[in-house]
Structure 1
Amino acid sequence: MKLSPSTILPALCWGASLASAASAAFYTYDPHSRSHPQSRTLSPVAARLVLAQRAGVEEYHSADLDREEVIDAINDFGVRTLLFEEETHKRSMFIYLEGVKETTESIPVLKDHASFTLDPVPESASSRELFMDIARQVGSGDWKLSKYEPNSGETEGKVFQNGNHEYHFYHAGSITELEQLFQSVDGMKSSSITVMIMPMNTSATPGSWGTYEMPNAESPLRKRQQKEVPLELEPIVKQAPSKSDATPFTASKSNKTGEPLRGILPACFSTLSACQKETRNCTGHGRCTLYHSDKSRNEKSSAKDCYSCQCKATVYTDKEGRISTTTWGGPACQKKDISIQFWLIALFSVGMMFLISFGIGTIWTMGDEELPSVIGAGVSGPVKRS
């Protein structure tokens, strides 16, 4: 049977629509971010680490932190803490949207957000369970995934408070509800936002997100007994810590930037997590990378690898379009390069010293010269007359 163009073109369009509908994407927004990284495709494991870092619970996912792809993904799409940032009330928003059939590239409320897609697309039930597990790691107690209802007036979702930082978790059922959520919640533009958009996918292989740990009342961290199996909407009940027994959340405490880094920082750190914790993720001016690895040491040696900060220049553009570049240095990228200002002050000081010395020398030379004879005759004594 010969296929005509009238039947081939609709089939291609239908296949393209299915491909776009089956895509999974993450959208991130930070109020102090000046530029967005280029959109690209990440593995589900790297996306999970980005989500955990933005929620401040990366200690439960430390087994995969040493991957190069994970390091680059966190540096590009993770939350950055700025040096000397004012310690004010902060809020992080996490939104889960599932079952979107149309493309998400044209959503107006997400046009200012950085984004990345996932390949392969994880299974729907495990994606919902991951989102709920992140909420359990941030807070305490069990949580059921309840959908946001725009007409009920309930816009708080699930809120966890840690000091002066609030973590809000929402579940939107459609793009319309997502847009209404952005309009109804106050202070969205001043919040750190993470939107997780997943298609209704039941054919994927379970376990694409990898494994991680969960809080437990008996021990601070507990290895998951089940590796991402298909789940219904109701999550499997896990034993959760009480408020008195739970391990206090320390990620935000180690990332406080209201006070400078104290002490002398080492040039190398044995692990990536130690580098990010001690340098506060290079104070937001760079990223922790593997500087070198001593292959002569034992594989289990803690001093085998050397992680250090790789500083990046910060480019600012003012309202008039003028561009200024700030270069950072130091073991935590916490020192601003002031070599230009130093040389300007040094050259100006040397020039002023030369001018003053030249002026004093000129006056001194003029004072050493003898007076002319005419002036000497004019000041002689009176002549005696006979």
Structure 2
Amino acid sequence: MKLSASTILPALAHLASASTARIHIHDPQQRDVQSRDVSPVAARLVLAQRTGVEDYHNADLEQDDVIDAINDYGLQTPMFADKAAGCERKAFLLYEGEEHIEALSSYTSFDLSPAPASSAIRGLMLDLARQSDPKQLLKLSDEILLDRLQSIQYMSSPLFFLTTSSSHFTSELNRLVKESYCITTLTTPLDTSSTATSKFQWGTYTLPKLNTKRSVPEKLLSEAHASLSSGSHPALHASANHSSSNSSSEPLRGILPACFTSLSACESTTRNCTGHGTCRKAYRDPDRGSNGLDCYSCSCVATKSADGKKTTTWAGPACQKKDVSVEFWLIALFTIAMMGLVGFAVGSVWEMGSEELPSVIGAGVSGPTARK
């Protein structure tokens, strides 16, 4: 039996569409970049950079096409732009379906080649979500987290959303565009095929570790400090609040950096600024790295005593240094005054000893007389 062209061509078209996965990006400053095929490893690093979890994806940065892909499709901040020009709100949307999304036609895009199975794509999205918020999402199973991502959470940043409805996807996409989100979308046909090697197409990356040990609130900081000194990832030990994470009286050891690459690294390394401030994004250095580097540092605040009569100011990279300028000036001025007083006394005595005796002392004394 001969197969007609009308039978073969639709079958080939279906196979081609079933193996296609495309990533679209939408930023406030659109770029004119030609669409091309990108490997799954380079695409993963682009997704990690655009969702702000690139610290977990350092293993494959040396591959040839990775840097070019990040330069072309990663988040970028103009060199002389203000903070509002950057991407403060990010969103990653995954659509699994066969329908063409017309709203994505004008966006910058690239294809994944070879395209991983939809199960592997879904698994990568779950891992990116866990990396973005390990404190809340790491303890959830894949089923629970997948169900949560199917209802969009506007309070989270970055925002993750998965759907199989083209209308729902389009409505949420339009809403995010109006709210000036930096949007990354991944569209792929929904299939049930999965191979043992499909998950390895993304390359190598790390996940946060869930600390199963539970301790009383008085010892939370001591355990976190012990974990930090052992060399574990700083993003795993972000404390729940200032009071619980700063109950230890142990000083921070070593020389602390003035800048941290992420908010979680700043909070964990400085113990939430030792309870005397908060970690904030100080600035973005456009000259470091391919797309610039964020600088997070402690913003210190003054504290008052229990009776409210004494105010203490703090400084240092972790707000761990107490301002002793008042005590310093008191001691310095007292020392200077005492030195001046002693110098004046010595000078007065020296001046008195150097003066000549008055002549009246010898006025009643006659000289020797000559004997006849």
Shorter-chain TM-score range: 0.5 to 0.7
Partner of 1:177 in structure 2?
A: 168
Residues in 2 aligned to 1:203 and 1:280: alpha-carbon distance in whole angstroms: 37
1:97–1:147: structure 2 CA closer, same or farther, 3 Å change rule?
farther
Where does structure 2 lack aligned partners over 5 or more consecutive residues? 212-226, 246-261, 267-278, 295-372
- Secondary structure of the corresponding residue to residue 31 of structure 1: coil
**2:83 match: secondary structure:** coil
SS at match of 1:121: coil
User: Which residue identity does 1:28 align to in structure 2?
Assistant: I
Pairwise CA distance, 1:172: 1.7
- Closer/same/farther in 2, CA of residues 186 and 200 from structure 1, 3 Å limit: closer
Structure 1 gaps of 5+ residues are 161-165, 223-238, 266-273, 282-386
Larger Rg: 2
Q: Is the 8 A contact 1:29 1:113 kept in 2?
A: yes
CA contact (8 A) 1:147 1:173 kept: no
Distance 1:115 1:186 in 2: 18
Q: Which amino acid aligns with 1:177?
A: H
Is 2:108 the partner of 1:114? yes
Letter in structure 1 aligned against 2:91: M
* Cα-to-partner distance string for 1:262-321 (whole Å, 9 max, x where unaligned): xxx8xxxxxxxx6448x549xxxxxxxxxxxxxxxxxxxxxxxxxxxxxxxxxxxxxxxx
Instruction: Answer whether contact 1:214 1:221 (CA < 8 A) is retained.
Output: no
Q: Which runs of 4+ in 1 moved over 4 A?
A: 239-242, 244-247, 252-255
Q: What amino acid is the match of 1:32?
A: Q
Which residue of structure 1 lines up, in the alignment, with residue 13 of structure 2?
16
Corresponding residue number in structure 1 for 2:183: 193
Aligned to 2:313: none
In the alignment, is residue 67 of structure 1 matched against residue 63 of structure 2?
Answer: yes
1:267-286 matches, cutoff 5 A? 275-276=289-290, 280=293
Distance in 1 between residues matched to 2:238 and 2:207, nearest whole Å: 10
CA drift of 1:86 comes to 2.1
Instruction: Give the TM-score normalised by structure 1.
Output: 0.52
Change (3 A) 1:50 1:148: closer
256, 273, 280: which one aligns with 2:283 = 256
Give me the whole-angstrom Cα distance separating, in 1, the residues matched to 2:64 and 2:186. Answer: 23
Matched, 1:220 2:233: yes
Three-state SS of the structure 2 residue aligned to 1:122 is coil
Q: Out of 98, 101, 105, which is 1:101 matched to? A: 98
Amino acid at match of 1:87: K
Q: Give the match for residue 337 of structure 1.
A: none
More helix, by proportion: 2
- Residue 254 of structure 1 contacts residue 280 of structure 1 at CA under 8 Å; is this kept in 2? no
**Partner Cα distance (1:39, 1:188) in 2:** 25
Checking the alignment, whether the CA contact within 8 Å between 2:92 and 2:159 is kept in structure 1 is yes
Amino-acid identity (%)? 33
Aligned partner of residue 57 in structure 2, secondary structure: helix
* Alignment TM-score, normalising by the size of structure 2: 0.54
Residues in 2 aligned to 1:240 and 1:101: alpha-carbon distance in whole angstroms: 42
Is this contact kept in 1: 2:119–2:194, CA < 8 A?
A: no
CA distance in 1, matches of 2:13, 2:127: 33
Go from structure 1 to structure 2 and tell me whether the alpha carbon gap of 1:175 and 1:147 turns closer, same or farther (over 3 Å shift): farther
Specify the code of the residue in structure 2 equivalent to 1:81.
T
